[in-house]
Amino acid sequence: MGIRNKMMAISAVLLLLPGLIVGGTAYYTANQGLNESGETTIENAVTMALMLIDTMDQQVEAGAITLEDAQEQVKEYLLGEMQEDGTRPITSDIDLGEYGYFVIYDEEGNEVAHPTLEGENVWEAQDEQGRFLVQDQIAAAQAGGGFTVYSWEFPDDPDRTGEKIMYNEMDPNWDWVVTAGSYMVDYNEASNAILWAVVWTLSGALVIGGVAIYFFANSLSRPVKDVQDQLKAMSENDLAQEDLPENRKDEFGDLARSMNLMKHNMNGMVAKIIDYANQLASSSEELTASSEETTKATEQVTESITNISESSADQSEMANAMQEDVMDVSEIIARIQGNMKKVNAAVDDTASRVEEGKQQVDDSSDKMGMIRQQTATAVSSIHELSQKSQEIEGILGLITDISEQTNLLALNAAIEAARAGEHGKGFAVVADEVRKLAEESNRSAGKISGLVGEIQHDIEKATNVMKENENRVEEGRHSISLTGEAFDKIASSKDTIVTLSGEVSSHIESANTTTGKVVEAVMKTVQGVEEATQEVTSIASSAEEQTASMEEVASAAASLSQIADDLDEIVSSFQTKK
C-alpha cells in the first residue's frame, strides 16, 4: 500500500471514529432513555388501571353498581365497547404507542379483556423462541409486578415480528392480571431517526473529507514518489535524471534540494574517477614502455659485460704466457753469466724471444685498450639505466598520488552512500571496490618503488665497480707499456751486445734488474686482469638481477594497467550528465 493510500485510510479512520463513537453513544443513550420512558409509561398505565379497578370495586361494595357492570366499564375504559364480532376496538385515551393496548388475564390464563381474543384460554401461548409468554406474565404479576419481553408478529404484518414489552401486575380485588405494553419500536423509534441522522452526517463528512484528504495526500505523496523514482534510477547507476523541483518551502523541498545536491556530487565524483582511471591507464602504459626500454638497455649491458668477461679471460692467459717468457729471459741471463762463450747464440736467441715478447706486449696493450673502451661503454649504459630508473620513480610518484586521490574519493563516496541509507547500499559497494583498487594500486606502486630503489642501488654499485675496473685496466695498460719500453731497449741493445760482447758482463746486472722489474710488472698485470675478471663477473650478476627486477617492474605495470581497466569498467556503468 502506497503512502497516499495509507494516509487516506488513516484520515478516514480518524474522520469516522469520532463520529461513530459520538453517534453510537447518542443512539444508545437515546434508545435507552426512550425504552425507560416507555417502561415508565406502561407501568403508570397499569397502575392507573389498578386504581380504576379499585375505585369501581369500592362502588360495587357500596351497592352503587353491580360487579359485572363495574368490570365491563373497566374493560370499555381500557379497550373499548364489545363489538358484535366479539372484538374490542382500542379507543382508550391512554397512549401506549401505535401498537399498544391493555390485556387482562385471570390466573388460569383466560383472556378476561383483549382486543381480539377475549374469552379464550392462552395459557400455552409461545413466542418464536419457545417462551410461554402468558405464563411468564402471570408469574411476574403474582410476584408483585414486573416486566416481560417476548417476540410477536405485528398485527398489520404477520410476516414481521418485533420485540414486545409488557408490564404485569396483580389486582387484589378481582384477582385479575392487568398487563399493558406494546412493541419496543413504539418507544425507541425516535432513536432510529438519530441513528439515520448520524449515518447521513458521517456519510457526508466522509465524502467531503475523502475528497480533501485525497488532494492533500496526493500533494504529500507526489514528492515522495519523485524521490523514490530518482533513488531507483540512481541505484541503477543512472545519474542523468532531471533535478527534482525545489519550489516547496517545507521538508519535502529540503529533501528535493538535498537529493539534487547528492546527485550532483555523485556526478562530479564519477567524472573525477573516470579522469583518474584514464590517467592511471596512461601512466601504466608509460611505465610499461619505460620498463621495456630499461630491459633492453640491461640486456645490452649484459651482452657487453659478457664480451668484457671473455676478453679478460683471454688477457689473463696472455699475461700468464708473458710471465713465463720473462722467466725464461731471466734464466738465459743467468746462463750468460755462467757461459760467456755461448753469448752470441744466447744473444740471438734472446733477440728472437724479445721480438716475441714485444709482440705479446703490443697485443696485451691493444687488448687492454679494448677492455678500457668496453668498460667505458658499460659505464655509459649503466648511467643511462640509472636515468631510466629515476624516470620510473617519478612515474611511480604520480601513480601513488592518483591512488591516494582515488582512495579519498572512494571514502567520500562511501560517506555519501551511508547518508543515503538503504538506497545507498548498492553505491556503497561500488565505492568500497574503488577504494580497494586504489589501495592495491598504492601497494603495487610501493612494491615497484622498492624494486626501483634496489635497482638504483645495484646500478650505483656496478658503476663504482666499473670505475674501479677502469682504473685497474689503466694500471695494467701502463705496466704493459713499461714492459714494451723495456723490450724496445733490449731490441735496441742487440747490435751493441753483438759488437760489444766484452761489455756484456757489466750489463748483465742491469739486465737482471730490468728482468726483475718486468717479472714484477707482468705479475701485477696478471693480478689486475684476474681482479678485472672477477669484477666483470660481479657486474654480470648484478645485470642479471637488474633484468629480473625489471621483469617484476613490467609485471607490476601490467597489473596496474589491469587495475586501471577494472576501474574504468566499474565507472563506465554510470550514466552522468555531460
Q: What is the pLDDT of residues 437-486, one digit of tens each?
A: 778 877 887 887 887 788 778 778 877 877 786 777 678 778 767 767 76
pLDDT of residue 376: 78
Q: What is the reported pLDDT for 120?
A: 93
Rounded to whole angstroms, the Cα distance separating 260 from 252 reads 12
Percent helix, strand and coil across the chain, each to the nearest 5: 80, 10, 15
Return the C-alpha cell found at 450: 622498492
Q: Which three cell numbers stand for residue 339?
A: 757461459
Q: Residue 104 belongs to what H/E stretch? A: strand 101-105
Q: What is the CATH number of domain 3-209?
A: 3.30.450.20
Q: Contact 136/148 with Cβ under 8 angstroms?
A: yes
At 225, is the secondary structure helix, strand, or coil? helix
Cβ burial, residue 80 (10 Å; 0-12/13-18/19+): middle
Q: Name, in order, each residue with C-beta under 8 angstroms of 453's C-beta and a sequence gap of 6 or more.
A: 393
Q: Which residues of the chain have pLDDT under 50?
A: 27
Predicted confidence at residue 504, as pLDDT, reads: 57
Provide the pLDDT for residue 475: 80
Do the bridges between strand 111-113 and strand 101-105 make them parallel or antiparallel, or are there none, so unpaired? antiparallel
**pLDDT confidence of residue 167:** 96
The Cβ-side half-sphere exposure at 120, using a 13 Å CA radius, reads 12
Here the cell at position 488 is: 724496445
- Residue 136: what pLDDT? 96
Q: What is the C-alpha to C-alpha distance for residues 532 and 307, in angstroms, rounded to an integer?
A: 13
Q: What is the crossing angle of helices 425-492 and 185-235, to 10°?
A: 10
CATH 3.40.50.2300 for domain 256-572? no
Query: What is the dihedral angle through the alpha carbons of 354, 355, 360, 366, rounded to the nearest 10 degrees?
Result: 120
Q: What is the pLDDT of residue 316?
A: 64
Number of H helices, E strands in the chain: 9, 5
Assigned C-alpha cell, 517: 722489474
- 247-248-254-258 Cα dihedral, nearest 10 degrees: -40
CA distances for 96 relative to 41, 53, 91, 137, 550, angstroms? 7, 19, 11, 18, 119
d(CA 295, CA 293): 5
Name the residue ranges covered by the structural domains of the chain.
3-209, 256-572
Picking from 41, 549, 31, 569, the residue whose alpha carbon sits closest to that of residue 297 is 549
What are the residues whose beta carbons fall under 8 Å from the beta carbon of 428, sequence distance 6 or more? 413, 414, 417, 418
| pLDDT at residue 363, rounded to an integer | 79
| CA-wise closest residue to 502 among 352, 345, 344, 353 | 344
